[in-house]
Amino acid sequence: MEGDLKSRLMTDRSKRNIERLAQEIGADEEKFAEVMAIFFSGPYRVTHFSAHLLGKCCDLHPHLILPYLGKMIDLLDEDVHDSLKRNILRTMQFIDVPEEHWDKAVQYCFELLQSKKEPIAVKVFGMTVLANLCEKLPELKNELRIIIEDQMPYGSAGFKSRGSKILKKLQQ
């Protein structure tokens, strides 16, 4: 099936096909394992296109990502394309990150958020992951608040919008 799934994904990368494939995969862990095998196998082009399917599957069934989360977080520390970082962090913002991944997730998200070279979407999703982790690690709230406030005057409309919402959430 992996070969079939890969060929179906690479042949038609339309939003409609991605949604159809995600529906077929559903909550089936074995089928999702095929998506992850494609995602991790490369080359970049295949990984890039499978990231869209991975994201859609996790939108529907976020728990599916948990066994692969450590390996995905490790990708944030590698020289990978921004779209992969964006998709990984987008997925992470919708899950309850397990405790064994807190340290790496916090480290990488703070680095991405403070980087001058990261795109806005990567920063915004990283900011959201950190805000969610602040519920478990309240000692991070002040550091996150300072970084957001520091970047707000120079941020895009999207950064300012998300930053404002997170700052309100951090005050609670």
Contact (CB, 8 A) for 18 and 53: yes
CB atoms within 10 A of CB 148: 23
Which residues have C-beta within 8 Å of that of residue 76, sequence separation ≥ 6?
85, 88, 89, 108, 112
Closest-CA residue to 50 (of 81, 82, 92, 6): 6
Q: Which two tokens stand for residue 39?
A: 């995602």
Q: Which two tokens stand for residue 19?
A: 């949604």
In the prediction, which pLDDT does 3 show? 55
| Residues of the chain scoring pLDDT < 70 | 1-3
Closest-CA residue to 125 (of 58, 43, 25, 35): 58
Q: pLDDT digit string (tens) for 89-125?
A: 999 998 999 999 999 999 999 999 999 899 999 999 9
In the prediction, which pLDDT does 1 show? 46
In the prediction, which pLDDT does 76 show? 84
